[in-house]
Structure 1
């Protein structure tokens, strides 16, 4: 478990450390909120495209090899971030971090599924809870840790910290992750055309979503054409990059992806939008804004601890949806003069949603995805998560503009409330959550 957790937390820690660094980095390079938002978006673009690709590599080449390669990339990115030549350079570093940190989650899920199936076990709820709790804890303490690092060493420290973290992940994977079957290297076949078409389609859609405008509607037309070509290619390929037939027949899995995207859109809007508002409108320091989210961390960890059981998934997901909706509505009454304790309480409400979101959907994913495609399915799960993160970045930019104000925060709250209503509806009416099954095939789950 230790090396799997060490690899899996590299992505969430890099997703959240940046939250309190946006303002000082902007000051260092004379950039506004719309420009520094690319530090968030660049990692999510790379991760959204890279996760299913790396998941496929896990399925075809083995989890250990992929974990080691990912750790090396993260260490290189950590060194690059310390150089900090320009804002564009840092955006490139974040892209490299996105690709490097893709390895942890699909590799962990693939190893867990393989070992559990070999032992004849069902859903390893305890291990899934630990994996989710680790990521959740890192996600929420990330701003606090980032604030402390910036206060002591400067904002470059949020990049440099990747060097020891990735080094530890590399060493632990070498020591304790089981060696991959040598035969997988000779049997592995990669659908390169499928990967390229998927990447081009997704990037085209994301480029439009990050700054939607009437003049860029042509991008959606291009994306539709690419999607048609991608679909035709995958359906004709004997070993496709993404098994569209499996996905088309596994509607519960598709709904799990949708729930994860919607829930994380709300969570990341708070992680980044709320923190920017605290620093700008309330005048808090980076370390102070990060510390205010500590109650969110505590609540999220407790919620995740009770969220990994294989039974009662539907009830916990409904509670999760209600918590995120309630938190979004509470933001409507938050302003420059709001009592500090009330600000802490709002963060704690979101902590319930954050703690339950990933661990419960992750448990559903484990039950719904075919065992031999667990790496790819887990990669798509993370792609859905970061589509939500990119949506959050877009919402924040649209609502805040060049400066985070209370009026902008209220606009963001209305948008998040609408997302919360949709998430609740998707969850309540999902009959597939009532009887999750492990190891199902696409044909068995066609209903």
Structure 2
């Protein structure tokens, strides 16, 4: 039996929520220190190993909103279990990969497998908020963000340790035990039926918009393929992106049960601004995660284990910042301070050389840790307050989609600016790009007046908002 409305958040849901949400981040952070060993094993330069990053995010960018919509319609349990099982299969394939192509395919499987955890978690948080009457469950939202940061803290160091013990293949094998634990927790603790089934007679039974999902995927694949290898030779990819996007918009505006309700989304400018900030923030974050780490190993000459240890203060600082500021409602202030921190960290990158002492390497990551902790928490909380509650799963998935678009842009930029080797000149070019993106992030935040007072708790129960309420 479900708890009464006056009860608090169902704590039994926390363990599967947290584990599902970290499957993608742990693979991102572990990979950051294994790109160079993988490249050495297969004789691949950074421009080719960049596909290991983009393959994961290409699959996840498509899968997050698709699976999020399925979760909105059918509840989180089945989607969580299927995704977690696929994560384990991807770990086996990657561990046994005979060449770079198979390893990239394993990363695609991993992307689809890990895309159910975060939308499921946000769906459950919203469902519990509706059930308990708590307008802003800041403690649970903070716990979700802090868990991700905690995994990011140990990710690079864990990756370096795994490489030292079992080689780069061990960084893929780690998904097998994680998947097994996730399957156990999901089967035991997630509700069999959606926690808050909709009984509103004003809305007809929801249907699955397969054509809309297909057109969305086609547009995104064409766009991301072009971002990975931009150039005149691939002129047709932007054209296909525009055509698929136009067809997608036409479909979504005409169907009664769209995959992504563009009518509501286009009228929700604050949410669109949040997605834009996510894109910009994650370009900087992932350019640093992958670009800076490769430079530490090739430009500065550190080992994979040493590079992982240098990254440790970045995520440790982010964890501390998220924990301290998590219950504070000032979303706009967090974003402004985060923007300033990004600008400072990017400027510090321009001062590094092949002979920079270790303390300067650590200073850079300490500074970047502040926006790393503030931005991810503020963006997540923004979506929670701005999105249509009936589409919380797909809205959370879109947040991750825009974040992964930023990751792919960052990966493509790193591959293009580093070329055959991650040297100091390439790092400085990457830093200038990151500096420009950080400035744009600050401008978008300053111009967004909707952030004033966003998320401030007023003490009343959570309203039962509907699609009509938002429009």
TM class by shorter-chain length? over 0.9
Post-superposition offset of 1:369: 0.5
Distance in structure 1 (CA, Å) of the matches to 2:328 and 2:216: 32
Question: How many Å separate the matches in 1 of 2:420 and 2:292?
Answer: 15
Q: Report the Cα distance in structure 2 between the residues aligned to 1:310 and 1:343, rounded to whole angstroms.
A: 31
**Is 2:57 aligned against 1:39?**
no
> Which whole-Å deviations, capped at 9, do the CAs of 1:345-397 have from their partners, x for residues lacking one?
10111111111111111011100011110000000000011001001001101
* Partner Cα distance (1:422, 1:167) in 2: 42
Partner of 2:67: 54
Q: Give the aligned partner of residue 81 of structure 2.
A: 68
C-alpha distance in 2, partners of 1:307/1:390?
A: 29
Pick from 378, 384, 394: which aligns with 1:360?
378
In structure 1, the partner of 2:299 is: 281
Equivalent position of 2:278 in the other structure? 260
Q: What's the counterpart of residue 227 of structure 2? A: 209
For 1:442 and 1:255, the matched residues in 2 are separated by: 19
Q: Which runs of 5+ in 1 are unaligned?
A: none
How far the C-alpha of 1:436 sits from its partner, in A, is: 2.3
Offset at residue 311 of structure 1 (A): 2.0
- Which residue, out of 82, 97, 100, partners 1:87? 100
The equivalent residue for 1:435 is: 453
Match in the other structure for 2:353: 335
Residues 1:412 and 2:430 are matched in the alignment: yes
State how far apart, in whole Å, the 1-side matches of 2:467 and 2:74 are: 23
Number of the residue aligned with 1:100: 113
- Superposition map of 1:119-198 within 5 A: 119-181=132-194, 189-198=207-216
CA distance in 2, matches of 1:255, 1:263: 12
Kindly indicate whether the alpha-carbon contact (under 8 Å) linking 1:61 and 1:188 is maintained by their aligned counterparts in 2.
no
- Please say if residues 250 and 442 of structure 1, whose CA atoms lie closer than 8 Å, have aligned partners that are also in contact: no
8 Å CA contact 1:253, 1:365 repeated in 2: yes
- Counterpart CA distance in 2 for 1:441 and 1:250 is 13
In 2: Cα distance, 1:243 partner to 1:95 partner: 27
Deviation at 1:325, TM superposition (A): 1.1
Runs of 4+ in 1 over 6 A off after TM superposition: none
Paired residues of 1:40 and 1:393 also in contact (CA < 8 A) = yes
Alpha carbons 2:76, 2:194 under 8 Å: kept: no
Q: Over the residues paired in the alignment, what is the CA RMSD in angstroms?
A: 1.7
| Aligned-residue offset at 1:219 | 1.7
> Which of the residues 18, 22, 25 maps onto 2:38?
25
TM-score (norm 1): 0.96
Q: 1:305 aligned to 308, 313, 323, which one?
A: 323
> Distance in 2 between the 1:75 and 1:219 partners?
33
